[in-house]
């Protein structure tokens, strides 16, 4: 039996990876199971094996997805995610004009593919503070409460 939720993330500095693990902790605390995978360790078809999908990416350049997420993002077009619960998250830098643009891009793609995006995208500025770490855990808990 697969886990209930899959978290797929891209992280350069470790910030988005940390968010992924904190969200995963919240999911587990809420009673669901979760697998957490780096974007380079997962095939896009794996998304179909889970009821809950959370995608995380840092924002690159002028509000774009990071390079390592681009192929996965394009391959997502082959999927029908109707009935899947979904959300997006990522580390951002508020000094840029398009703050957290990658989170917005991923959220829009999840909606376009028919998933039910049940939480507003979580954007954390750079490395999470203690309060933001708790916010990530609560994000995971809320995801489970709204999904299952």
| 5 or 96: which leads in pLDDT | 5
**What is residue 1's predicted lDDT score, i.e. its pLDDT?**
44
pLDDT over 70, % of the chain: 99
Over residues 86-105, the mean pLDDT reads 92
pLDDT over 90, % of the chain: 91
**What is residue 84's predicted lDDT score, i.e. its pLDDT?**
97
**What is residue 14's predicted lDDT score, i.e. its pLDDT?**
97
Over residues 89-103, the mean pLDDT reads 90
Q: What is the CATH number of the domain that holds 136?
A: 3.40.50.360
Question: What CA–CA distance (Å, rounded) separates 39 from 69?
Answer: 7
- Measured in degrees and rounded to the nearest 5, phi and psi for residue 39 equal -55, -30
- Given a cut of 80, whether residue 62 has pLDDT beyond it is yes
If you write DSSP's letter for every residue of 41-107 in order, what string do you get? G--GGGGGG-SEEEEEE--BTTTB--HHHHHHHHHGGG---TT-EEEEEEEE-TTSSSTTHHHHHHH
Q: Which two tokens stand for residue 94?
A: 């508020």
The number of domains in the chain is 1
Look up the domain containing 91 and give its range.
5-147
Q: How confident is the model at residue 58 (pLDDT cuts 50, 70, 90)?
A: very high
Maximum separation of any 2 CA atoms in the chain, in Å: 43
């Amino acid at each position: 039996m697969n886990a209930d939720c899959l978290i797929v993330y891209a992280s350069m500095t470790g910030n988005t990876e940390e968010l992924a693990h904190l969200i995963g902790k919240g999911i587990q605390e809420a009673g669901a199971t979760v697998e957490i995978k780096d974007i380079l360790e997962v095939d896009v078809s794996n998304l179909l094996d889970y009821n809950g999908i959370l995608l995380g990416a840092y924002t690159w350049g002028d509000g774009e997805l990071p390079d390592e997420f681009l192929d996965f993002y394009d391959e997502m077009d082959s999927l029908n995610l109707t009935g899947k619960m979904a959300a997006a998250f990522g580390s951002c830098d508020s000094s840029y004009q398009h703050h957290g643009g990658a989170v917005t891009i991923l959220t829009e793609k999840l909606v376009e593919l028919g998933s039910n995006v049940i939480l507003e995208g979580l954007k954390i500025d750079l490395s999470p503070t203690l309060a933001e770490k708790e916010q990530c855990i609560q994000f995971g808990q809320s995801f489970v409460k709204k999904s299952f």
